[in-house]
């Protein structure tokens, strides 16, 4: 079947006050705190938040001693849940912990340098944006970031921490050409007219975050379509670590292996191999060997090298895919230990990844976003 070239595609993002994202931030803050003391920490940390309660569970083996309840409250405070009327408060909510050591059976494989679990991971890159990311998720993140910014700076003083964005892009001949629909869901104080909220967020969020050159002439804008979004955050919806994996990656534009990233130390290939696959795909696109590239890596627990490597350039390649695969196999060690060393993953750098995507970022700590291997791939061209 021929690949579609004319279509609509939609991606979404969420703010750091979304309950699932609160949990991702809690999990990665705990991970960072452990790695700061003991870089060899083994961490698989999950969080759950609901009205008046935060729960942390998982498996942790580390020489570090940390105060998990204090870290949980710190995250909740920094996100913005600091008022009792939000139904979830950094000081008034209970915090429970249920943490044990990593399974000795899992440790057998990791200690030997193998993967901590079986699984399949994907990385993707394309030339649609400067960040080598699909345009829909890039714009969705920009809107969600701006929505959080106007709240935290008091530009729109009645906003509360929870929020979502959604962007629909029209593609022609396989290339993005215009935005036809934008959706914002913004938690707010009671007693406000929807018309005011829509006017404020159109002016201060959409007009600032969405370039005019990308908008269709009849672009639709929906702001809080039900008319009210007062009850939100953990008061309105229970949050759990790892439920926003499509927001974390490519907005649904690429395949996903199913495993989440947050709360997992880099011996977990769910995280580290996904970062490595993105690193390879981005460098291949940066080398202009293709316009789109997807890479799958698959591992077996306890074994260091992937059992399979799959590469797809979707018919956009300038070089035979077999040649690119051969270079990857010859030049890159894809064992967990080598990935950790290549991308310098044992440092506490994970809290920032928990919001607005793990990919397409410019911060120096996002080492998997470097394009320092593009010249190596360029030799194939």
Say whether 166 counts as a known binding-site residue. Answer: no
Contact present, 202 and 221 (Cβ < 8 Å): yes
> CA nearest 138: which of 351, 130, 157, 348?
130
Say whether 132 counts as a known binding-site residue. Answer: no
- Tell how strand 175-188 and strand 215-223 pair up: parallel
Beta-ladder partners of 215: 179
Say whether 215 counts as a known binding-site residue. Answer: no
Q: Is 154 left (phi over 0), alpha (psi -120 to 50) or beta?
A: left
Say whether 237 counts as a known binding-site residue. Answer: yes
Cα separation of 233 and 307, whole Å? Answer: 41
Cα separation of 206 and 183, whole Å? Answer: 10
Say whether 18 counts as a known binding-site residue. Answer: yes
Say whether 92 counts as a known binding-site residue. Answer: no
Say whether 58 counts as a known binding-site residue. Answer: no
Say whether 264 counts as a known binding-site residue. Answer: yes
End-to-end CA distance of the chain: 28
Say whether 162 counts as a known binding-site residue. Answer: yes
Annotated binding site for L-methionine: 59, 102, 237, 268
Residue ranges of the binding site for Mg(2+): 20
Annotated binding residues for K(+) = 46
Residue list for the binding site for ATP: 18, 162-164, 237, 243-244, 264
Binding-site members are 18, 20, 46, 59, 102, 162-164, 237, 243-244, 264, 268
């Amino acid at each position: 079947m021929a690949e579609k070239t004319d279509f609509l595609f939609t991606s979404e993002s969420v703010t750091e006050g979304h309950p699932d994202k609160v949990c991702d931030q809690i999990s990665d803050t705990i991970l960072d705190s452990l790695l700061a003391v003991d870089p060899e920490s083994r961490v698989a940390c999950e969080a759950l938040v609901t009205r008046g309660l935060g729960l942390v569970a998982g498996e942790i083996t580390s020489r570090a001693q940390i105060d998990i309840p204090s870290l949980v409250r710190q995250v909740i405070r920094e996100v913005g849940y600091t008022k009792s009327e939000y139904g979830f408060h950094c000081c008034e909510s209970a915090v429970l912990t249920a943490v044990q050591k990593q399974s000795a059976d899992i440790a057998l494989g990791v200690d030997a340098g193998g993967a901590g679990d079986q699984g399949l991971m994907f990385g993707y890159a394309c030339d649609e944006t400067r960040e080598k990311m699909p345009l829909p998720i890039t714009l969705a993140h920009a809107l969600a970031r701006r929505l959080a910014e106007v709240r935290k700076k008091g530009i729109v003083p009645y906003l509360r921490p929870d929020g979502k964005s959604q962007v629909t892009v029209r593609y022609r001949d396989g290339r993005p050409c215009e935005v036809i629909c934008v959706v914002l869901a913004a938690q707010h104080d009671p007693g406000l007219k929807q018309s005011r909220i829509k006017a404020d967020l159109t002016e201060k969020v959409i007009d600032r975050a969405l370039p005019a050159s990308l908008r269709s002439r009849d672009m639709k804008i929906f702001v809080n379509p039900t008319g009210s979004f007062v009850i939100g955050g953990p008061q309105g919806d229970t949050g759990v670590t790892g439920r926003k994996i499509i927001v974390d990656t490519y907005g649904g534009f690429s395949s996903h292996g199913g495993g989440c990233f947050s709360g997992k130390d880099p011996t977990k290939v769910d995280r580290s191999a996904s970062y490595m696959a993105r690193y390879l795909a981005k460098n291949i696109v940066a080398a202009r060997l293709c316009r789109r590239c997807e890479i799958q890596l698959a591992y077996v627990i306890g074994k260091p090298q992937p059992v399979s490597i799959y590469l797809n350039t979707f018919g956009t390649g300038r070089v035979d895919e077999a040649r690119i695969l051969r270079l990857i196999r010859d030049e890159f060690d894809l064992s967990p230990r080598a990935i950790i060393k290549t991308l310098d993953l044992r440092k506490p750098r994970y809290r920032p990844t928990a919001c607005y995507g793990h990919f397409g970022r410019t911060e120096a700590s996002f080492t998997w976003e470097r394009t320092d291997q593009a010249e190596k791939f360029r030799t194939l061209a």
